[in-house]
Amino acid sequence: MIETKNNKINLYANSDKDKFVNKKIGETFQNLEDQIYKIIKEKIIWHEIKMGERIIDKKLAEELGVSRSMVRQVLAVLVKEELLIIIPRNGFYVREITRKEIEEIYNVRKILETYVTELAVPKISSRDIAEVEEVFKKAKRDLEKDKVKSFIEADILLHRLLLDNSGNEPLRGIINEYNDKYAFYRVADLSRTERAKESYFEHYEIFKAVKEKKVQLSIELMAKHIENAKKIILNNFEEYTYGDVDIIEKPVDLYKI
């Protein structure tokens, strides 16, 4: 179930959430390291910490109400995941991605997601189709009012629908690993209303082909969509990398499908 509050999407609705209000995570969660990991990763993906910016572990520890050593442990994990770099005697920085990397990542994404589409389309149930279709209908109505929240939900659900029905767990892990590397740019892209409207129609064409069990057409449309997204990001690379991003709606796990 997807919960919304203050125009933000929360994919992890929690009936006990009220008892966490105005508390630091160090006062509430038992698995602190996982929570710190998630919070710092989201700060990077949602442009709260910019590429090339230094991450000050002491400041983060105070903000989250946890120990500095625990924050540093998490930062070391993010270094291994290539989201951060560490400069000796200087500290941790958000790793800057190059144009070449974006091009290569999206080329790999196209191969992976078209394969997922090929595997999934014949297996998707009419019940799943009906659920996603309702989200697309709401997304269209909301986009006419310049609201992108429901479209972002539809985007996530369509990709998740295909991946869940692919029947290939190793492939899921690979795709989620690559999502980490381009989610920062996906946020910059989807935060722009006109681009969200354009992307909606790309996704809806894919969905219609999936609904009609047209495997080859679904593959071709998915490839075209990913190629178009790559071109737009490369054409707006400097703005997307270093410019301000107006985050109106925020799906918590955009980087993981």
Q: Tens digits of per-residue pLDDT, 145-201?
A: 988 888 888 998 999 999 999 999 999 889 888 887 788 888 888 778 888 999 999
pLDDT tens by residue, 232-249: 999 999 988 888 766 555
Judged against a pLDDT cut of 50, whether residue 14 lies above it is answered with no
| 242 vs 237: CA distance, rounded Å | 8
Neighbour-count burial of 243, counting CB atoms closer than 10 A to its CB (0-12 exposed, 13-18 middle, 19+ buried): exposed
Best CA proximity match to 155, nearest among 236, 228, 231, 255:
255
Give the pLDDT mean for 25-32: 56
Give the domain ranges of the chain: 3-94, 99-242
In this predicted structure, what is the pLDDT of residue 212?
Answer: 98
Q: What is the mean pLDDT of residues 82-109?
A: 94
How many CA atoms, within 13 angstroms, populate the side-chain half-sphere of residue 217? 13
**Phi/psi of residue 92, each to 5°?**
-95, 140
* Greatest mean pLDDT among 34-38, 81-85, 115-119: 115-119
pLDDT at residue 245, as a whole number? 67
Which has the minimum average pLDDT: 57-66, 113-122, 182-191, 206-215? 182-191
CATH topology identical between 3-94 and 99-242:
no
In tens, the pLDDT along 117-159 reads 999 999 999 999 999 999 999 999 999 998 888 888 899 899 9
Q: Which two tokens stand for residue 212?
A: 């009609």
Question: Which tops the pLDDT comparison, 6 or 30?
Answer: 30
Between 18 and 217, the more confident residue is: 217
Tokens standing for residue 228: 């178009």
- Quote the pLDDT of residue 119: 97
256 pLDDT band, cuts 50/70/90, is low
**Three-state secondary structure call for residue 54:** strand
Q: Is the predicted pLDDT of residue 52 greater than 90, yes or no?
A: yes
| pLDDT interval class at 209 (50, 70, 90) | very high
The DSSP bridge partners found for residue 187 are none
Examine the pLDDT at 69 and tell me if it is beyond 80.
Answer: yes
Q: Which residues sit opposite 55 in a β-bridge?
A: 92
Task: Place 12 in a pLDDT band, splitting at 50, 70 and 90.
Answer: very low
Judged against a pLDDT cut of 80, whether residue 202 lies above it is answered with: yes
Rounded distance, CA 194 to CA 31, Å? 40
* CATH class, 99-242 region: mainly alpha
Q: How many CA atoms lie within 13 A of 12 on its CB side?
A: 8
Query: Where is mean pLDDT largest: 81-85, 148-152, 215-219?
Result: 215-219
Phi then psi dihedrals of residue 189, to 5 deg: -70, -50
Identify the CATH number of the domain defined by range 3-94.
1.10.10.10
| DSSP labels, 196-216 | HHHHHHHHHHHHHHHHTT-HH
Whether the pLDDT of residue 102 is over 90: the answer is yes
- In eight-state DSSP terms, residue 86 is E
Q: 235's torsion region: left (phi>0), alpha (psi -120 to 50) or beta?
A: alpha
Query: Would you state the pLDDT for residue 216?
Result: 98
Distance CA 32, CA 34 (A): 5
Tell me, what's the pLDDT at 247? 56
